[in-house]
């Protein structure tokens, strides 16, 4: 009998439970049955677990939005995949924390021959996030300064590499000297240790008091004020996550009016609304990887039954790079 991790109630990492489950006897016509080999761990999983983001169905529910594996069966109307194909996904419906699952064909991606399953599971959601942030939401350019928080995290390290491949001058925030070194190794031109330096003051020093045209902030509450102070006039605040918690109250006039700032709260799902957008997004990432511009960085692997410990590690802010679960 296959195993899965479920959330039976909202809360901390301890609410994650490892148990047996039954697969449906019949696969839906447009679904593909996948045997997982690698499961990506992402911050959005902790938001679902804690209740910051509402779950799409009643509890108990299996979390997780990213995985890679092999097709072992397919519905009667599936046309793009067959048994034996290596596939991956990084999108709802949630339910990746399991050994075997059925998943909609239209949201599935073929893994390129030059990539391993672990690589894809560790980079797909984060890499597609960087693609839409840098290529479509705000097109970064050669020579431009940008500020990116948590530069040594899973998304951050991909952002470092992507920015370097374009010639964009990325300023990244980190919490330790080791993370600063890792960020620079991956292409971040400037690093700011937010525990030792005032981020906005350092940004102004680097940019000759001009500020940056865009800030990419996936941290939230702890970094919001410094992000705003770091922006240039008519700058764009991109709040794409809140690992430190959500900003509770905003005085729109006081915060955004003085410099005529723009604000957006995007999500990957809104930038992969259909199969064409999904494939274009993933193909741009895979092209970067094929060219050697972007490489995966797996910080640690946990067994599926160690999901609780994996969540604790992710939320400790001590990790750098990606974390994956192994069924």
DSSP for 92-124 reads SSP--SBSEEEEEGGG-EEPPTTS-HHHHHHHH
Task: Answer whether residue 211 is part of any domain.
Answer: yes
**Domain match, 256 and 307 both:** no
User: Considering Cα of 262, then 268, then 270, then 271, what sign does the dihedral take?
Assistant: positive
Task: Please state the pTM of the whole predicted model.
Answer: 0.91
**Domain match, 20 and 112 both:** yes
pLDDT at 252: 81
**What are 137-164's pLDDT values in tens digits?**
999 999 999 999 999 988 999 999 999 9
**Domain match, 98 and 64 both:** yes
Q: Which residue in this structure is represented by tokens 């761990």?
A: 41
Task: Answer whether residue 135 is part of any domain.
Answer: no
Task: Answer whether residue 256 is part of any domain.
Answer: yes
Query: What is the average pLDDT across 17-41?
Result: 97
Report the distance separating Cα 235 and Cα 203, nearest Å: 14
Lowest mean pLDDT among 47-56, 149-158, 254-263, 275-284: 47-56
Domain of 117, in residue numbers: 3-123+272-326
Looking at 215, 232, 265, the residue that finishes a domain is: 265
**How many Cα atoms sit within 13 Å of 91 on the Cβ side?**
23
Task: Answer whether residue 136 is part of any domain.
Answer: no
- The total domain count for the chain is 2
**Domain match, 8 and 98 both:** yes
**Domain match, 169 and 249 both:** yes
Report the distance separating Cα 206 and Cα 266, nearest Å: 27
**Domain match, 49 and 67 both:** yes
**Domain match, 249 and 295 both:** no
pLDDT at 244: 53
Task: Answer whether residue 107 is part of any domain.
Answer: yes
pLDDT band at 52 (very low <50, low <70, confident <90, very high): confident
Looking at 248, 265, 282, the residue that finishes a domain is: 265
Residue 44 pLDDT greater than 70, yes or no: yes
Residue 21's CATH number: 3.90.180.10
Residue 219's CATH number: 3.40.50.720
Report the distance separating Cα 268 and Cα 93, nearest Å: 13
pLDDT band at 18 (very low <50, low <70, confident <90, very high): very high
Looking at 245, 265, 285, the residue that finishes a domain is: 265
**Domain match, 91 and 160 both:** no
pLDDT at 101: 98
**What are 59-113's pLDDT values in tens digits?**
999 999 999 999 999 999 999 999 999 999 999 999 999 999 999 999 999 999 9
**Domain match, 221 and 254 both:** yes
306 CB-near residues (< 8 Å, 6+ apart): 325
Task: Answer whether residue 313 is part of any domain.
Answer: yes
Task: Answer whether residue 137 is part of any domain.
Answer: no
**Domain match, 184 and 294 both:** no
Task: Answer whether residue 163 is part of any domain.
Answer: yes
Query: What is the average pLDDT across 209-220?
Result: 92
**Domain match, 90 and 170 both:** no
Residue 243, classed as helix, strand or coil, is coil
Residue 317 pLDDT greater than 80, yes or no: no
**How many Cα atoms sit within 13 Å of 62 on the Cβ side?**
24
DSSP 133: I
229 is written with which tokens? 């102070």
pLDDT band at 218 (very low <50, low <70, confident <90, very high): confident
- Averaged pLDDT score across all residues of the chain: 94
**Domain match, 105 and 192 both:** no
pLDDT at 246: 66
């Amino acid at each position: 009998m296959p195993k899965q991790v479920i959330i039976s109630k909202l809360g901390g990492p301890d609410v994650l439970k490892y148990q047996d489950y039954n697969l449906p006897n019949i696969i839906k016509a447009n679904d593909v049955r996948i045997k997982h080999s690698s499961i990506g761990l992402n911050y959005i999983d902790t938001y679902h677990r804690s209740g910051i983001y509402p779950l799409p169905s009643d509890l108990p529910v299996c979390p997780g939005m990213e995985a890679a594996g092999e097709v072992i069966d397919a519905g009667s109307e599936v046309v793009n995949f067959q048994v034996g194909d290596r596939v991956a996904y990084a999108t709802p419906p949630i339910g990746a924390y399991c050994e075997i699952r059925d998943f909609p064909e239209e949201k599935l991606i073929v893994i390129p021959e030059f990539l391993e399953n672990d690589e894809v599971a560790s980079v797909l959601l984060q890499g597609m996030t960087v693609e839409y942030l840098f290529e479509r939401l705000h097109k970064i350019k050669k020579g431009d300064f940008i500020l990116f928080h948590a530069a040594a995290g899973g998304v951050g390290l991909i952002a470092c590499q992507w920015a370097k491949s374009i010639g964009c001058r990325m300023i990244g925030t980190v919490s330790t000297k080791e993370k600063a070194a890792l960020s620079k190794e991956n292409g971040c031109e400037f690093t700011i240790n937010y525990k030792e330096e005032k981020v906005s003051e350092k940004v102004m020093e680097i940019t000759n008091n001009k500020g940056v045209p865009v800030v990419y902030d996936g941290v939230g509450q702890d970094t919001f004020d410094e992000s705003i102070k770091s922006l240039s006039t008519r700058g764009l605040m991109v709040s794409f996550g809140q690992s430190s918690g959500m900003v509770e109250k905003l005085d729109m006039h006081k915060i955004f009016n003085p410099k005529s700032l723009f604000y957006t709260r995007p999500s990957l799902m809104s930038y992969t609304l259909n199969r064409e957008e999904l494939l274009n997004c993933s193909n741009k990432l895979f092209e970067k990887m094929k060219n050697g511009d972007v490489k995966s960085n797996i910080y640690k692997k946990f067994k599926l039954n160690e999901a609780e410990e994996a969540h604790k590690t992710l939320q400790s802010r001590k990790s750098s790079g990606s974390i994956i679960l192994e069924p």
